[in-house]
Structure 1
Amino acid sequence: MSLTLYQHPLASFCHKVLIALYENDTPFKSSLVDLLDPAEAARFAALWPAGKMPVLTDSARDVVMPETSVIIEYLDRHYPGKVKLIPDDVDRALKVRLWDRFFDLYVHVPMQKIVTDTLRSSGENDRRGVEDARATLNLAYGMADKHLAENTFAAGDSVSLADCAASPALFYGGIVEPFDEKHPHLAAYFERLLERASVRRVLAEARPYFHMFPYRNLMPERFFEM
């Protein structure tokens, strides 16, 4: 087994890569990273100085691969499975990459802004930044809802890189800024994602760590039971 994913089961961007791995039953070793442990954080920084999870290593090809979208494209090219996450057709691939970036930049990133602001010391909170993040989320929800009225998945009729991005972004985003009532097409799409075995497996692995999530009191009860 040459692939190792350095990750934490609660981390939303790690979910994105795990979903891709599980969609194709790709063999890999999981290495849990605790960034709150200074020694462990230092070891991880030696691997990838930016210190952002996840990171994939491939001992067979002597590769260290950071950044979720790049990791998934690497897997798609060098460890392909039954699910083609990035189409060979250039125009379809561009659509997939567009919606991957959409969910990362306009849902995932503002969601994380809201979450991390709760971890700041008293007096260091960024009220305006959080308000802007919530506004970005609601704008993105509206755009995605319109798009998903005509698409089964994020970039068409089949699962792709874009859905790997959408799942954790919407899972945590829907907790900090719910979208169910106002955006029925987006909500229905999220339910389709939750039906996938890969997504359910990722959430099952995250469940023992849910108590660490700052907004755990707002988590729907069903997420503790799935």
Structure 2
Amino acid sequence: MRFRMGSSAALIVALATLATGCGGTGSGTAPAKQPTGDSAEKEAGSGSGGPAVDKVDFDTVFDTEERFEQALPDPASMAGWTPRSAGAEIEEAPEPAANCGPDADWYCARIARGEADFEAAGEEAQFDLTAFADKSAAQDACRKEKSWSAKYTKAQVSPIPGVDSYAYYRNAGGLDGLNVFMCTGTVVAQVLLEGEGSTLDPGTAHSLAQLFAPRIHKAAATS
């Protein structure tokens, strides 16, 4: 998978559609899209919102093309899903954390952002990775996002090993969405399942998040 990097203060620039034959650097393969329905109850477990056990921490700053390319899922790791687009953008002049205000603007102090989108059976799976200059800034962003999202309905997605994870439902633009957020090291990661009239299976969201987290940690450990 090849990325073209942007360099501006604007949001991520849409990039070219991925080819299904792109190579991968990930760990493991995501299962084909899971059915919705009763499996939601099976995934309820202990729920989300609490710290995961054996959390992985790191000081690595995600500010290069290679870091995002390694961390974001690629077609080889997403069996059963059709790739749509992927890319990342480095901020030319990141906003100082001291200038950032409301919880809704939790991403204000980011230094870079990457995204990879896939589609299957009428649903879209979007992987977002928001990078910060250090762990303190990332933790502050995570705290703000948790506070801002508290008004939405909690989704019963089991905790993701190695990260502080939580999940909730949100409807936007006429589409139903299930968001899984993961806070780890210097980044905040999101898996978003979105679809019109979909039941948005928590089991599918959990599987995709379990694919994403190890890729982030592997990218952070790469010299």
Fold-level similarity (TM above 0.5): no
Report the structure number with the largest CA radius of gyration.
1
TM-score tier after normalising by the smaller chain length: under 0.3
Structure number with higher relative contact order (C-alpha < 8 Å, ≥ 6 residues apart):
2
More strand by share: 2
